[in-house]
Structure 1
Amino acid sequence: MENRKDFLSCLDSDMSLKILTCLDDPADLVRVCCVSRSWRHYVIANGLCKKLCLRIFPQLSRVAFVVELNQHGAKELAEVGSSSSVEWLVQQREHRVYAYLGRALMSSVAMNCIAKTVGASSTDNFPQESIDNTLEPRDHISGRYSYWSSDGQSNPNVPETLTYELVSQICVITEINIQPFQAHFQIGSPIYAARSVRFKMGHAKASLDAVDDEMFSWTYTSPEFPMSQENRLQKFKLPEPVLCIGGILQIELLGRVQRQEIDGLLYICVSHVQVLGGSLSPAFNADILDPSGNFVLKRDQMANCQPVITSGNESQEISAEHRGLRDFRNIVTILRGQVVGIGEDDWDEEEYEIDDFEEEYAL
């Protein structure tokens, strides 16, 4: 211990920054902060937790500023005299928010993130063939087929859209699963799948009284995925997990394949839709500032409950309120580092905010 040396003090700032930006787990940056006051100061001053979150989810580039709710030090920020002190407190706040957000984003979850339907671009027979039927995983309900059907078209290139509201304003989405409908009551049991699918995520510009593409601002558009002409739950995994800010997801069904024998028109029909990922609410929330998608990232310090990880196959009869209670528990991994070397005490709110870390926190 007598010969120990701080390697950061031996390197220039650019080299130190290059080394520390190679870390790809927020828990590692927390460990770095626990080494010494100087290391913690370096991590905070250079916004390393924020930069790491931006590398994981580029959608965070639209964050205008961060807010901590139930922040006991808010009064202190207003009373600080010098501009440098104010700047340091702002940097500390961003460090805390992004450190906890990083843990949430890196956590593995699997739940169905649909809260409710918004609407479909068309419906052939409403309400019997409503988009609401796509929330039900069963093919039959009370002796009747359960599915959504588009209007019939003679042009195979006319697209359709299904739009859903997610369980919170800020969700991590990893895959969307769609099951085309097979009409066993028609001759030959045809399957009314689309040729391909594409997904959009974003936020509403106004109220959701009607389905109009102008009412939504899309901040993410996926690649186009081919769809099989099969009656099964088809999985479309996104190239990278996407942070959906605003809680709106739209499925674009592109290309019509199956023609109905009775009228000679082309239809698209869907039995069931799942949107898999995780909600960051209530520990995190977002307020959209403008149509471009810039938003305020809010962290509620009081939200600290044990999560329940679900399979994503639950019945959609669960109410949105019950979903909120379930999602509330999904956020504990933000506040507790579930990796070797980081315990509950290391992620304690008061312990994490102090400048003077004791030697027992050094790694």
Structure 2
Amino acid sequence: MGRDEGIARLRLIRTGGIGPVTYIQLLRRFGDPEAALAALPDLARRGGGKAPAVASKEAVEAEVATVKRLGARYLFRDTAAYPALLAEIDNAPAALIVKGDVTLLDRPAVAMVGARNASGIAIRFARQLAHDLAAEGWTVVSGLARGIDTAAHVGSIDGGTVGVIAGGIDVAYPPENAALQDDIAARGLLIAEQPPGTEPRARHFPYRNRIIAGLSLGTLVVEAAPKSGSLITARLAGEFGREVMAVPGSPLDPRSQGANLLIREGATLIQSAADAIEAMGTIGGGVRAGRGASYVPPEPMDAGDAERRVVTDLMGPVALPVDEIIRQSGLPAPIVQTVLLELEIAGRLERHAGGRVSLA
């Protein structure tokens, strides 16, 4: 795409209140980002709120200059360069910032995640497992955290690894992994959703986890506490229709409780790279590796005041699946999506994992 269109897309993406789902719906509805930007005030009015402050052209141009200076570039959703597996999920990032070997996105990928305070034996096993998977032509995806994530990257960096960053692509977190992050940029691939310079905050890590799970045919957990981020990644993988796998551990070690729980709930028990490859091979026909956007939202339809009331009356502060709103309202899905679009731009809607929404 041309520079002007790229700038307009980023202005839309960086505007508050416009999430990944809304971004795609706006492009689908108005055809180009400039028209979508111009329509925001009217959409917000219909949604019963004020239009969000649009990101300035100057701010976005400064971001683009920084990305270029860092040796990175953008991959926009609904373009051929975007990872196809990630595009399968409805809330995939509107744009990725990448640095390194993007051809790694053309290979089948497996996510490896686990405890930050992992045991020595688990770190050793994860490193060897990642090495063996990469040697078989798999790209190993992880989140550059301490412990298992670091072991996964170190084990696979010679064969193909992708590091997904919670903050900006130029921010190393944890700081002790700065050298590893640089090495991945040189020999693997770094991916970030946030603009350069963004320090990672707690709210960024669930967003990062969905990218890790979304890029991969399966997510493999090696040691994890029952309420850890690793189990969130595994749960997301299951919601995305991907394979969930876990390495069993001693019941005497609290760090193994999460992985053992996943196995008890139906995750595939993994003892070798061959086990993981066999497990993911059973679902490979349902999703595809490589690149090229595949998510197409429903054709938009205008909503009337009566239809808006039906939808908003069904909603409240507790998150409800969009499919349930469609079912209970009896309205066509495109009309419900239009109402939700207007509410989100008006600042009255919050989107949650699993295709759920609530009133703000």
Q: Is the pair's TM-score, using the shorter chain for normalization, greater than 0.5?
A: no
Greater relative contact order, per chain length (Cα 8 Å cut-off, separation 6+): 1
TM-score after normalising by structure 1: 0.24
Larger Rg: 1
Q: Point out the structure with the larger strand share.
A: 1
Q: Point out the structure with the larger helix share.
A: 2
TM-score after normalising by structure 2: 0.24
